[in-house]
Amino acid sequence: MLSKPHQRAGRSTIELRDLENGAVSNTFHLSTDDIPDDRGSLHEVYQPLSFQQKKNIVFLILLYLIQGVPMGLIKGSIPYFLKPHCTYSDIATYSLASYPYSLKVLWSPIVDTYYFPKFGRRKTWVAPCTFFLACTLLVFSYNIDIWIERGSSYINSFTVWSFFLVFICATQDIAVDGWSLNMLDVHQLNYASTAQTVGLNTGYFLSFTVLLVLTSPEFANSVLRISTLNEGLITLSGYIRFWALITLVSVVLILVWEEQKPEHVANMKDTFRSIRDILSLRNMKQLLVVHLFGKVGFVANETLTLLKATESGLNKAMLSLIILINFPLGLILGVYIGHISNKRPLYVWLWGYWGRTISIVLNVALVYAVTYFSEKLSLFLAILICYTLNASFMTVQFVSIGVFHSQISDPAIGGTYMTILNTISNLGGTWPQYIMLKLADWVTFSYCSADHNLRCITDDVKNVCASKGGQCIYKRDGYYFTSILGIFLSILLCIITIFPIVRKLNKVPASSWHIHGKFSSNQ
């Protein structure tokens, strides 16, 4: 069942629609006084999840999983495969590949407006995007080994291809976000955030943790093999080819899935006007500040900490085990946070912000101390604790802000509104990453004791230095500089800007986020 409120003259009309045929099955007339906090908490008409809605949730998880797999490659595992052959600046360049998720609002009106009525408003975009995603993954599978091996010399071309892959995922995400708002009852939108968390995190997990484990020679040799080989159980190209086929099969399921007939859909001009009106809202301007500057202090440290740990002896098998342990914890925490975030999601997000800041401090202390760990077990336990704290607080922020977005989105333009909110949130994590990683490379000064002309900027150069009988000397490490700078920025920004804004936004009613004020009666 999907409820759609229409408010007029002090009364709310709630139409309960059957998802399969769109027919109105029941209507309730309530006084507006029955709406206690203007956030849609109408307990009087709460409906438990129907069988169709449960199927929809599973389907949403699958759609987000399909997005999470390539995103886990681009943002998770590939930087680790690139690191031996690339500098921090190269990794900064490659981080630009994730920008489509931060720019998708530019073409979201097209996705939200144009479609084939007989095919379905959302399937018009989800089906072809999934098909092109499968094709692009196939292209990756036959070329990625060469791209990684060439490292710095091929980083620009590799970034362009990855940018295109993320662009397809972002376009699909626009349609899926809008579809999720129509699949569930207005009182159960927190399930959409939970489905997104489970799907994306599972895909990310498979393309990060599982992939690193299965491609790790150390893991295969120590756990599964009798004889020692210099290769993992699977190859990176084989893994990508497998998911290309899975994604291709998913297209068939999308094509046969029933979609509710769309109601009124604004034209392109109206959609762009809606975007302008949304961004002009006073509340939105304040939320923009929170999103655009809320991650400035975290991105450099969270990107580089595990990469730095690998320099101190953390192999892929150990790294994979750390992330593997955190995966079920993240899922359980995500479901719990989605439940407790219904009332005051921004305060839950703020709690995660301060926890994330503390975890950054611990990360810096850990990286500084790992040189004194003589045992791999000590190194493993220390990194496990720090990573668990950091990942947990990231999950707290991700889920709680997703719940908040669902609560404040104007259902009249749900797809566009959700895309704007998610775009702004993603942009806050992408724009500072490039700058901070470039800064880390720029302030780093190192050389080889056997050849002062060699800068120890990649693992390949370090191996050359070692082959000459020298060792790398670090006069200044950009990791510590950017991490400490980030800690000060996160504390300063929260005290001066973020906390005061969160206090204000937590008190405003949901209707103040709607560009039409209340739900119009003609929709």
- pLDDT, tens digit, 9 for 90 and up, residues 393-411: 998 998 899 888 888 887 7
The label of the residue with tokens 């209707």 reads: 511
**Average pLDDT of span 15-36:** 33
Q: Give the model's confidence band at 414: pLDDT under 50 very low, under 70 low, under 90 confident, else very high.
A: low
Element (H, E) at 261: none
Q: Where in the chain is the domain with CATH 1.20.1250.20?
A: 50-265, 268-443+477-513
The label of the residue with tokens 């409906």 reads: 47
| Measured distance CA(341)–CA(398) in Å, rounded | 11
Bridge partners, 7 (sequence order) = 12
| Measured distance CA(183)–CA(189) in Å, rounded | 9
* Cα-based distances in Å from 449 to 69, 88, 441, 455: 42, 21, 20, 10
pLDDT at 186: 65
**25 class by beta-carbon count within 10 Å (0-12 exposed, 13-18 middle, 19+ buried):** exposed
Q: Give the model's confidence band at 183: pLDDT under 50 very low, under 70 low, under 90 confident, else very high.
A: confident
pLDDT at 185: 67
Q: Give the model's confidence band at 383: pLDDT under 50 very low, under 70 low, under 90 confident, else very high.
A: confident
Q: Give the model's confidence band at 137: pLDDT under 50 very low, under 70 low, under 90 confident, else very high.
A: very high
* Cα-based distances in Å from 206 to 104, 294, 385, 418: 25, 28, 21, 26
Q: Crossing angle, helix 88-95 and helix 155-183, to 10 degrees?
A: 40
Which tops the pLDDT comparison, 34 or 423?
Answer: 423
| Measured distance CA(118)–CA(266) in Å, rounded | 18
**Average pLDDT of span 56-67:** 90
Q: At the fourth CATH level, which superfamily is domain 268-443+477-513?
A: MFS general substrate transporter like domains (1.20.1250.20)
**Average pLDDT of span 67-91:** 88
| Each residue's pLDDT tens digit, 433-452 | 888 888 888 888 888 888 87
| Each residue's pLDDT tens digit, 205-242 | 889 878 888 887 877 777 676 677 777 788 999 999 99
* Cα-based distances in Å from 300 to 16, 440, 456: 47, 8, 19
pTM of the model: 0.72
How many C-beta atoms surround the C-beta of residue 246 within 10 A? Answer: 13
Question: Do 327 and 72 form a contact (C-beta atoms < 8 A)?
Answer: no
- Topology of domain 50-265 in CATH is Growth Hormone; Chain: A; (1.20.1250)
Which tops the pLDDT comparison, 490 or 377?
Answer: 490
pLDDT at 370: 73
Half-sphere exposure of 134 (CA within 13 A, CB side): 15
